[in-house]
Amino acid sequence: MCLSQVDRPQKACDGFTLIELIVVISIVTIMLLLAVPRFSDFFTSDDTARTLRWLIVKVRLLKTSAVREQKVYILHADMDSGRLWITDESMETEEEKTAAMEKGYTLPDDVKLVDVEFPQTGKVPAGTAEIVFYKRGFSDRAIIHIESMGDEMKSLFVEPFLSTVKVHDKYRSYNEDHI
């Protein structure tokens, strides 16, 4: 006998009604439809976004490390091999510099380092470009251009006196008037 319904027969307490089940299943379905895309973005990160995060974090780290350790750091960007690595002024031998290059970050296959642009010297579309981070906390002014295989262009602005990196969703240059 059902405790809440003493007067009614036993079959009234056997389960949920069809309407209650439909409502609960509908609510759960809606919640899953909203949550699944967010979980998939969380677990499977885009290679371009991963590369952007690596660069943004390294620029911040290099600016603070240069001041804290009173060393000049250099971020090397090799357009030909798609490799990024860091050296500092204390590395004197070629073995140390080569070891730093081998420990560096290799871009994923679907991400390409297009060029690095400096306001005074222009673009470096091939070979290695060097962005210097100085002991007093500033750096060279540069734009790093990245392209994903889906032809999506990103421009990362490294500003001399700011620790943040501005990211634009298209190819931007210093020659543009609206920067």
Question: Phi/psi of residue 175, each to 5°?
Answer: -75, -10
CB atoms within 10 A of CB 44: 7
What pLDDT was estimated at residue 152? 83
Closest CA to 154 of 58, 47, 36: 47
Q: Are residues 85 and 163 in the same domain?
A: yes
What pLDDT was estimated at residue 172? 85
Flag whether 42 is in a domain: no
Q: Are residues 81 and 152 in the same domain?
A: yes
Q: Are residues 67 and 147 in the same domain?
A: yes
Number of Cα atoms under 13 Å in the Cβ half of residue 110: 10
| Structure confidence at residue 111 as a pLDDT band (50, 70, 90) | confident
What pLDDT was estimated at residue 2? 53
Flag whether 179 is in a domain: no
CATH code of the domain in which 143 resides:
3.55.40.10
Flag whether 99 is in a domain: yes
Domain extent, residue 98, equals: 47-168
Flag whether 14 is in a domain: yes
Q: What does pLDDT average to over the chain? A: 83
Minimum mean pLDDT range among 10-19, 73-82, 104-113, 162-171: 10-19
What pLDDT was estimated at residue 110? 85
Q: Are residues 6 and 70 in the same domain?
A: no
**Cα distance between residue 143 and residue 74, in whole Å:** 15
Give me the residue label for tokens 């969380």: 42
Q: Would the pLDDT of 11 be above 70?
A: no
What pLDDT was estimated at residue 177? 47
* Mean pLDDT along residues 172-178: 68
Measure the CA angle with vertex 75, ends 109 and 140; round to 5°. 125
What pLDDT was estimated at residue 85? 92
| Structure confidence at residue 4 as a pLDDT band (50, 70, 90) | low
- What six digits make up the tokens of 39? 């979980």
**Cα distance between residue 155 and residue 163, in whole Å:** 16
How many structural domains is the chain composed of?
Answer: 2
Flag whether 22 is in a domain: yes
Flag whether 173 is in a domain: no
